[in-house]
Amino acid sequence: MKAIICNGIRFEKVEAVIFDKDGTLANSHQYLWHLAEKRAALIDAIVPGAKSKVLAAFGCDDPAGLMAVGTREDNINAISSLINQEKSIVRSIFSDADRLLDRKAKLTLPYPQIVELLNSLSSLKLGILSSDIEPNIRDFIEEYHLSDYFQAIVGAQSGMSKPNPKLLFLICEKLGIEPEKVIVIGDTIADTRLTPRSIGVTWGGSTIAQLDGAAAIAHHPSDIRLSHIRRM
């Protein structure tokens, strides 16, 4: 049975590791800023003067902001109420903004040492549980040749956001692992509140105070280590 050690905290009986994507595996800061700017400029064209309040609502500087952790639907709903326009209008603006940007995967590189971390954990089952849509998750892992590391991915689900435990059950079911045998690694409380067995990471910009519920904190991917020592 394997254990994971992170800065003095030991997680026993680990059979799988579930990763968040944006802010954990992938550096999405630059992409989120570009996307927020494009969306806000298009909104400003139909609601003059709305740009600054739309950018403030997206909260790109906040790793736990709407843009970083909200699903696309969360963002559409929030902006639709903010500018008092139909959701269908906001949805179509968001699609126009997507077309003006390069593919997300191209703009969101893996953080340094992520490949080394995945290599070191490759004797466990690995999964990705993200608020991003599944095609973007697949595009990211294919773009950076990471597909072979992951046995399951779960993207945004209608009507459910992290830390809803049903999402953890869903990915555990796909991996064929009981939820108590997994650990979750992520950069916001949406991840660290999924399970008591979670590691909060600060390399995406979150502070320790923003990682409430994390059993351990990692400041660098090399803080997370697999232990093969068999305990009697």
Q: How far is the CB of 115 from Mg ion (least distance, A)?
A: 18
Q: How far is the CB of 187 from Mg ion (least distance, A)?
A: 4
**Interface with Mg ion, residue 132, by CB under 5 A:** no
Residue nearer to Mg ion on the CB measure, 20 or 37: 20
Cα separation, 209 vs 222, whole angstroms: 21
Residues 6+ apart with CB under 8 A from 73: 156, 158
Residues 6+ apart with CB under 8 A from 145: none
Residue nearer to Mg ion on the CB measure, 20 or 223: 20
Segment lying near Mg ion (by CB under 5 A), choices 16-24, 90-98, 143-151, 159-167: 16-24
Q: How far is the CB of 168 from Mg ion (least distance, A)?
A: 15
Residue nearer to Mg ion on the CB measure, 22 or 37: 22
Residue nearer to Mg ion on the CB measure, 23 or 70: 23
Which residues partner with 217 through β-bridges?
200
**Interface with Mg ion, residue 200, by CB under 5 A:** no
Coil/strand/helix, residue 94:
helix
Coil/strand/helix, residue 205:
coil
What residue has token string 């843009």? Answer: 67
Closest CA to 32 of 87, 101, 135: 101
In this structure, are residues 172 and 61 in contact, taking their beta carbons and an 8 Å threshold? Answer: no
| Contact residue for Mg ion among 22, 37, 132, 223 (CB under 5 A) | 22
β 3-6/9-11 pair status: antiparallel
Q: How far is the CB of 142 from Mg ion (least distance, A)?
A: 20
Number of residues that bind Mg ion (CB under 5 A): 4
**Interface with Mg ion, residue 23, by CB under 5 A:** yes
Structure tokens at 199: 């590691």
Binding mask 79-118 for Mg ion (x = CB under 5 A): ----------------------------------------
Write out the binding residues for Mg ion, residues 139-198 only, by CB under 5 A.
187
Q: How far is the CB of 69 from Mg ion (least distance, A)?
A: 6
In this structure, are residues 134 and 105 in contact, taking their beta carbons and an 8 Å threshold? Answer: no
**Residue 165 is which amino acid?**
P
Q: Note the residues at the interface with Mg ion (CB under 5 A).
A: 20, 22-23, 187
